[in-house]
Amino acid sequence: MYLPRFKGDGPGILGHAIDFDGIAQVLLEDLLLAARLASLSLVGWRVFGSLLRNIMARAGDDEVRLRTMP
């Protein structure tokens, strides 16, 4: 997913990419120290939600075999 440049990015930065292909975790104490640099727009949140639903509901090979067994 594409994110536009942040306010403090230099002229050589065209944008940012978000990769939803793995599980990411953050310690609560680190999260509490974090500062928000940017936020998704309403459209961005809807795209993110759509991608998340697709990833979370994706059926693996074992799931397909289980549901197609006679």
DSSP secondary structure string for all residues of 30-61:
HHHH--------HHHHHHHHHHHHHHHT---H
What is the per-residue pLDDT for 57? 72
What is the per-residue pLDDT for 22? 72
What is the per-residue pLDDT for 10? 92
In terms of residue numbers, what domain contains 63?
2-68
Q: How many domains does the chain have?
A: 1
CA distance linking residue 63 with residue 24, whole number of Å = 24
User: What are the pLDDT digits (tens) for 13-69?
Assistant: 998 887 777 777 889 999 999 988 777 788 788 888 888 787 777 777 777 777 787
What is the per-residue pLDDT for 12? 93
CA distance linking residue 54 with residue 57, whole number of Å = 5
- pTM recorded for the entire structure: 0.39
